[in-house]
Each structure stands twice: as structure tokens, then as C-alpha cells.
Amino acid sequence: MKNKIFKNSISALTLFVTIIGFAQNKSSNTISLDVYYSKIQNEKNPQIIDARGPEEFALNHINGAVNFNLESKDYAKQIAKLDKTRPVFTYSIGAGRSVWLADDLLKKGFKEAYSLEGGIANWIGNGNPFYVNSKSKLTLDEYNKIIADNNTVLVDIGSKYCAPCKKVKPVLETIKAEYGEKVKIVEIELEESPQVIADLKTVKVFPTLILYQNGQIIFKKEGFSDLKKDVDVILAQNN
């Protein structure tokens, strides 16, 4: 019994480490949004797989996608429903689970399998059509009003299911504590306001940080590393 538990733990750890590795290293099967979209348009009934969790899929997804990943209990059955002779298009929150899934499909004999660079963030963030189960909490008009009504605005765009996005939060708290009312901080999550993210047509990955001053973008950053330092430098240069 102990050996079985140990083996299962090792297997889970190996899968986790492998997925993280794929997330950090772009696979040869990861393609740009333009290529991904073009290939989908060339298919009569494209095979699109959302490799996120079911709770994420229920909130929003690419039109026509089905939901499963390597950890799904019915993984084998889901794979059996697919046509190995036709392309399969995978995506996730970024490019972790989808890369691993596309690679596994190729190992299983599929002719073509592609993962979307930037994942759902890139798809919705560039205004492509998608399913959503609720109305956006923030509209584009409301967003634009916030930008117009405040001298300096720092916008954080991400998802509650995005690990790097979570690391932005304490940095934002530090910025808020130091600058106070001088910098208006706006946090936008895919799960609450997907339509405004789509309307902005400027997001390729999560997190994306945008700094406005007097209604103009003076700084845009993908990822959270050195965020505080970058904001300090930009604000010092523009004050």
C-alpha cells in the first residue's frame, strides 16, 4: 500500500514538473495566434481542446471547444473521439497544460497537434470570438472613464487561475502603499470582465500591466518581474 502511494506521488510530481517545464520552454508545436486562427478557419469542424480545468472552461472558452486534459478521468475516451488524421488545436490559460497535451497527442499518432501561444489570454485579448456565461463586470466605456478621470492609472490584467498573476498582487499592494492616491490601480480578471479584455485588443499573455498618464499609455509590461522597479523608473521620468 505504501509503495503504491509512493509511486502515485512520484507520478504526480513528475507530471507537475514536466508541465512546468513545458510552460517555461516554448514547444515547437506552439504557434502564434495568427497561424492558430488561420488553421482553425481552414477546418470545417475544427477539433479544439480547452486543456484547463472544468471550472475555468465553464466561465469562458473558445467557441466550439471541448474540455479535457491529461488529468481527466475520461482522458482515453476523449482521445478516442478525435480524428487522428486531422489537426487538433489545444489551449490553456497560458501554454502549459496545452503544450503537454499537444505533445501527448503526437506521441499517440495524431498527424498534427498545436498549442496556442499565450493561451486563452491571447485569444480573448485580441478580440477573437468566445463563449462567456456572464456579463462583464467592467465595460470598455467604464474603463475609458477611469483612465480619463485619473492622472496616473496602473492596470493589471490577468486571471485568478494564473499562477504568475497571483505574484503581482503583493507588488501592487507595495505600489499602493508608496504612491497612495497618486496612482489609481485597476485590477481586471478574465473571470469577471472578459469582454473589456477583448475590447482592448492589447493582451497577449497574463499578466499584462499597463501604465497610463494623462490618458496615454507610457508603459506596458508582460509578466511581473521587476514591476515595482519599472513603475518607479517610468513615473520618475514622467513627473
Cβ atoms within 10 Å of 200's Cβ, excluding its own: 19
For 168-182, give one letter per residue: b (16+ CB within 10 A) or e: beebbeebeeebeee
Question: CB of 68 within 8 A of CB of 74?
Answer: yes
pLDDT in tens, 179-198: 999 999 999 999 999 999 99
- In this prediction the pTM is 0.86
What pLDDT was estimated at residue 132? 96
What pLDDT was estimated at residue 17? 40
Question: CB of 155 within 8 A of CB of 212?
Answer: yes
Residue 162, Cβ density class (10 Å: 0-12 exposed, 13-18 middle, ≥19 buried): buried
What pLDDT was estimated at residue 207? 97
| Domains assigned to the chain | 2-132 (3.40.250.10), 140-237 (3.40.30.10)
Helix locations, 44-118, DSSP H: 54-59, 75-80, 97-107
Q: How far apart are CA 33 and CA 10, in angstroms?
A: 35
Say if residue 86's pLDDT is above 50. Answer: yes
Q: What is the dihedral of CA 162, 168, 170, 176, to 10 degrees?
A: -140
CA distances from 205 to 16, 30, 32, 78, 99 (A): 21, 14, 12, 28, 15
Task: Identify the CA nearest to 34 among candidates 129, 122, 132.
Answer: 122
pLDDT in tens, 203-222: 999 999 999 999 999 999 99
Grid coordinates representing 39?
488553421
